[in-house]
Amino acid sequence: MAIKVFSFFFFVYLLVEMHEIRAMVPAVIVFGDSTVDPGNNNQISTVLKSNFAPYGRDYFGGQPTGRFSNGRIATDFISEAYGIKPAIPAYLDPKFDIRDFATGVSFASAGTGYDNATSDVLSVIPFWKEMVYYKEFQDKLRGYLGNDIANHHLSESLHLISIGTNDFLENYYPFPTRSSEYPVDKYEIFLIGIASNFIRELYNLGARKIAISGLPPMGCLPLERTTNIMHGSACIEEYNDVAKDFNQKLQDSVTELNRELGGIQLVMSNPYYKLLEMIQNPILFGFENVATACCGTGYFEMSYMCDRMNPFTCSDANKYIFWDSFHPTEKTNFILADHAFKTTLTVFR
């Protein structure tokens, strides 16, 4: 009798454990730009790299990895929050293989955008190629786990997309091609059409849990503020207004796709207001500097201009919102990731 009782409770325990395992996100799969690129650009021919000091000085072991920060990026913290692993590897990094990628992988490429013309500016991986890599990854995963387990694994995995700032700041505004073709609101619609089709393709490939990020207050990036000398290096409100308008259009698209695609869980994570809150109330978050970055003079340095030879780099990045003129510090990345995990991403827990 005691054996039967034990067996019953053991069976119940297994059912509970299996339910919890099924409810967990087994992997975080990432697409996008430098905000979520852990080092794919190291493996391609481009000037946009960050696999050298002082990048990565606060990462594990103080090693530069290709992340555009002094330490970890937001998706690393999200993976850790789900209890998976503390850092997501780059798909093109030869140090990793499918055993590592099965629990999280990033296809992102710094400098890329929704628009193919954006990736051409600095010869980085276009957004469509990230999808090609994803399909290749799926084949490897099925070979590793078997078809049925891999398909279930993919449907339960969280697919994260973070991209779009470069389309405006590296493409639309600096160069005349797109701005002569589209007024800015029509360009936003053009980009969101690409985003929507990308999500549809993910869905057709078996993804069911998807989070897409909106744009930050991109007019407040140090590089943009530096160009706004006539207005006291304040944030460029025109760019911020574009970001807000784009985010609203993206949210509308997310709502439509949730109606269109049966069984999908699609959410939009909006970093705009949390980052703006940090910029407007830095003391509340322990920051001292919001207008300039830690690396170099903090006004314009990024990538190779932000290197170990620059004598102006700050000693404590935790006092800064931005690490270089375009990218957040590890501390900022953690705050944004923590906010997303506790708000938008709760649906996946």
Active site residues: 34, 324, 327
Q: DSSP assignment, residue 36?
A: S
User: Looking up tokens 């290709």, which residue turns up?
Assistant: 66
28-32 and 265-269: which strand pairing?
Answer: unpaired
CB 243 within 8 A of CB 217: yes
Taking residue 327's Cβ as centre, other Cβ atoms within 10 Å add up to 27
Nearest CA among 30, 47, 218 for reference residue 127: 30
How far apart, in whole angstroms, are the C-alpha atoms of residue 126 and residue 119? 5
Q: DSSP assignment, residue 339?
A: H
Quickly list DSSP for 162-218.
Answer: E--HHIIIIIITTSHHHHHH--HHHHHHHHHHHHHHHHHHHHHTT--EEEEE----G
HSE value, Cβ hemisphere, 13 Å, CA-based, for 296:
19
Single-letter code of the amino acid located at 291: A
How far apart, in whole angstroms, are the C-alpha atoms of residue 341 and residue 349? 9
